[in-house]
Chains A and B, each alone.
Chain A
Amino acid sequence: MSSQFTPMLDGLTRQRGVRAALVASEQDGIVVDSSIQVGQSGDRVAALAASLYRKARLSARAAHLGAVSFMQLEAPNGRVCAVGAGPLVLIVVAHATANVGLIRVEMLRAATELPALAGGGAA
Chain B
Amino acid sequence: MADDVSRLSDELARDPASLVFVPLGEALRRQGQLDLAQRVAVRGLERHPHLAEGHDLLARIAADRGELQRAFDEWDMVLRLADGHVGALRGMGFICFQQGRLIEAEQYLSAAAAAAPADEGIGQALANVRAQMSPTSEVEQVPAADVSHDARFLFADVLSDTDQTALLLDRDGLVLGGAYLDLDGNDVAQEVGAELSGVTDAARRTTRHLALGDWSSIVFETEVAVVAMAPSPDDGLLVLATSRATPLGLVRRLLDRCGERAARWLGERAA
Cα separation A64 to B29 with both chains bound (whole Å): 12
Chain B residues positioned under 8 Å from A67 (CB to CB) = 32, 222-223
Determine the residue in chain A with the shortest Cβ distance to B225: A65
Contact mask A24-61 → B, CB, 8 Å, 1/0?
A: 00000000000000001100110011011001101111
A74 within 8 Å of B (CB atoms): yes
Q: Are B195 and A58 in contact (CB under 8 A)?
A: yes
Between A44, A70, A72, A74, the greatest number of chain B beta carbons within 10 A of the residue's beta carbon is seen for A74
- For B, the interface residue count at a CB cutoff of 8 angstroms equals 38
Chain A residues positioned under 8 Å from B202 (CB to CB) = 48, 51-52, 55
Give the shortest distance, in Å, between B48 (CB) and chain A (any CB): 28
B160 within 8 Å of A (CB atoms): no
What is the interface residue range for chain A against chain B? 35 or more
A69 in contact with B192 given A63-B241, A76-B216 (CB within 8 Å):
no
Chain B residues positioned under 8 Å from A78 (CB to CB) = 210, 212
A73 in contact with B206 given A55-B198, A56-B227, A66-B223 (CB within 8 Å):
yes
Q: Is chain A's binding surface mostly helix, strand, loop or mixed?
A: mixed
Interface hits, B142-174 → A, CB 8 Å? none
B196 within 8 Å of A (CB atoms): yes
Between B183, B222, B241, the greatest number of chain A beta carbons within 10 A of the residue's beta carbon is seen for B222
Chain B residues positioned under 8 Å from A55 (CB to CB) = 195-199, 202
Cα separation A56 to B210 with both chains bound (whole Å): 20
Give the shortest distance, in Å, between A90 (CB) and chain B (any CB): 14
Q: Are B199 and A77 in contact (CB under 8 A)?
A: no
A85 within 8 Å of B (CB atoms): no
Contact mask B25-39 → A, CB, 8 Å, 1/0?
A: 000000010000000
Determine the residue in chain B with the shortest Cβ distance to A80: B206
Cα separation A8 to B212 with both chains bound (whole Å): 25
Instruction: Show the binding face of A for B, using Cβ within 8 Å.
Output: 40-41, 44-45, 48-49, 51-52, 55-56, 58-80, 93, 96
Inter-chain pairs besides A48-B206, A60-B227, 16 sampled, C-beta below 8 Å? A41-B209, A44-B209, A55-B195, A55-B197, A60-B220, A65-B225, A66-B225, A67-B32, A67-B223, A69-B220, A71-B219, A73-B203, A73-B207, A74-B215, A74-B217, A78-B212
- The 8 A-B pairs of least Cβ separation, nearest first, read A66-B223, A75-B212, A71-B220, A76-B213, A59-B195, A62-B191, A58-B195, A65-B222
11 A-B residue contacts at CB 8 Å? A62-B194, A63-B188, A63-B191, A66-B223, A66-B225, A68-B220, A70-B220, A73-B207, A74-B215, A75-B216, A79-B212
